[in-house]
Structure 1
Amino acid sequence: MARTHSGKGTIVRMWRWRSNPLRRHSDVIEAWIVLVTSTLAVVFGGLAGLMAAQAVDTGLSAQAARAHAVPAVLTVDAPSSPAAIGGSGGERVSAAVRWTTADGTVHTGRAKVLPGAPAGTRVSVWTDRTDHVVSAPVTGTEATLEAALAGALVAPSVGVAVWAAGRVARTRLDRRRMADWDAEWQQVGPQWGNLSGGRG
C-alpha cells in the first residue's frame, strides 16, 4: 500500500519512503519493488507494443512487395453459393482461373471470385514471385489498423507480465516478513507474558 493511517486518523502518504519507527527494511524493499515494477510495466509494455506494431507493419509491407496483381479469366463457371468469406471484398467463392505471364507462360490456379460468375469472366488475381495465387495483400488503412491492434494487444500483455513478476516478489517478501515477525514474537511473547503476570 502507498499510504496508511497515523495515530491521529490522518492519512500518511508514501509512508514507506519516510523514516519512521514502524518502517522496516522490508517495507523499503517493497516500496522499491512497487516503483520499479510499475515503471518497467509501462516502459516494457510500451516498447513491446511499438515493436509488435512495427513487426506486423513490416511483415505486411513485405507481403505486399512479394505479391502483384495479374489479369486472369475464369475457366469454369463459379459456384453460385459462397464457399468462404473473403476480406473486404465480401462473400467470395473459389474457382479455377487461368492467366498468362509476361514471358507467355500460361498458368492455372484457384482464386476467390464473385459467386455465379460465368466462365470467361475477366478477374484480377494476386500472385507471388513463383506465379502462385496468394491472398490480396493488406495495405493502407487496413494494414495500419492491424499493426495498431497488434501493438494494443501486446502492450498490456507485457505490462501485466511484468506486474505479475513484481507481485510474486512482493508475495515472497510478505512471507519472509511474516516469518520474521513470528520469530520476533517467539522472543518477545514470553517476556510480554511475564510482564503482564508481574503486574497482576
Structure 2
Amino acid sequence: MRAIRGLWRWRRNPLRRATDLVEAWLALAALLLTVVAAPVLGSLVGAAAQNTLQESVRQQHHDRSLVTATVVRKLGGPLVEPDPDATSAHDTRSRVLADWTAPDGTHRHGPALTTLQSPHKGDHFGVWTDRHGLITARPLDSATATTHAVLAGFGAALLTTGLVEGGRRMIVWRMVRRRYARWDQAWERAGPDWGKAGTGS
C-alpha cells in the first residue's frame, strides 16, 4: 500500500525527483514480487520436493523389510540416542546381540538396537533390514516426507521474499548514496561563496 501511495503522491508533484519515482516503482515491483512470485516459487519448490521425497519413500519401502530378531544377549555400553524420525522419539534403545533371518532367507547374527526396556535372551523385536539382511534405518514415512516438502516450500517462499526485499534495499541504498554524493558536489561548488555579502546578487 505504501508503494501505491508513494506512486500516487509523486504522480504530479512539482518537487518530484526522478529518483523519487524510481524508488516508488521499485517498492511497487518488490511488493508484487513478494505477493505473487514468492508463493508461486514456494509452491513449485514444495511440489518438486514432495515428488522427490515420495519417490524416496516408495523406494525405501521397496528396498527395506521389517523382520523379527531374537535377543541372544545384551551388550554393554551406554544407552543409544533414539532415532529422531522414529514414531516415539522418547524410546530408549539398548544394544543387544541378536539373530534374524534376512528377506532372502539367509541367517544373520550381529549387534542391533532394541527398544525393549529389559532385553533378555529369547526376546523378540523388530529390525529394518535391506535386501541382503543388513540392519538399516527404518524407511521414511509418507507423512514425514510431506512435512519436509511443506517446510521446503515455505523456506523457498521466505528466501524469495528476503532476496526481493534485500535487493530493493540495496538499490535504494545505492540511490541515496549517489544522491548524497551529488549534494556534496553541489555544496563544494557553492562553498567558496558561502557567507559572503552580495552572493547571488
State TM-score, norm by structure 1: 0.72
Contact 2:69 2:98 in 1 (8 A): yes
Cα pair distance change 1:13/1:161, threshold 3 Å: closer
| Structure with the largest fraction of strand | 1
What is the count of residue pairs matched by the alignment? 191
Q: How does 1:42-81 map to 2 (within 5 A)?
A: 42-57=35-50, 58-59=52-53, 61-66=55-60, 67-77=64-74
- Structure 1 residue identity aligned to 2:119: A
Question: In structure 2, what is the equivalent of residue 170 of structure 1?
Answer: 172
- Partners of 2:54 and 2:111 lie apart in 1 by 22
Cα pair distance change 1:88/1:79, threshold 3 Å: farther
- Structure 2 residue identity aligned to 1:96: L
Q: How far does residue 119 in structure 1 lie from its aligned partner after superposition?
A: 2.8
Cα pair distance change 1:61/1:134, threshold 3 Å: farther
DSSP-derived class of the 1:178 partner: helix
DSSP-derived class of the 2:159 partner: helix
Segments of structure 1 that go 5 or more residues without pairing to the other structure are: 4-11
Question: In structure 1, what is the equivalent of residue 113 of structure 2?
Answer: 112
Segments of structure 2 that go 5 or more residues without pairing to the other structure are: none
Q: How far does residue 116 in structure 1 lie from its aligned partner after superposition?
A: 1.8
State TM-score, norm by structure 2: 0.71
- Structure 1 residue identity aligned to 2:70: V
Question: In structure 2, what is the equivalent of residue 101 of structure 1?
Answer: 102
Cα pair distance change 1:25/1:41, threshold 3 Å: same
- Partners of 1:188 and 1:35 lie apart in 2 by 37
Cα pair distance change 1:147/1:179, threshold 3 Å: same
The one of 12, 19, 33 aligned to 2:12: 19
Moved more, 88-97 or 49-58: 49-58
Percent of aligned positions with the same letter in both sequences? 31
Q: How far does residue 136 in structure 1 lie from its aligned partner after superposition?
A: 1.7
Contact 1:2 1:16 in 2 (8 A): no
Q: How far does residue 105 in structure 1 lie from its aligned partner after superposition?
A: 1.6
1:133 maps to 2:135 = yes
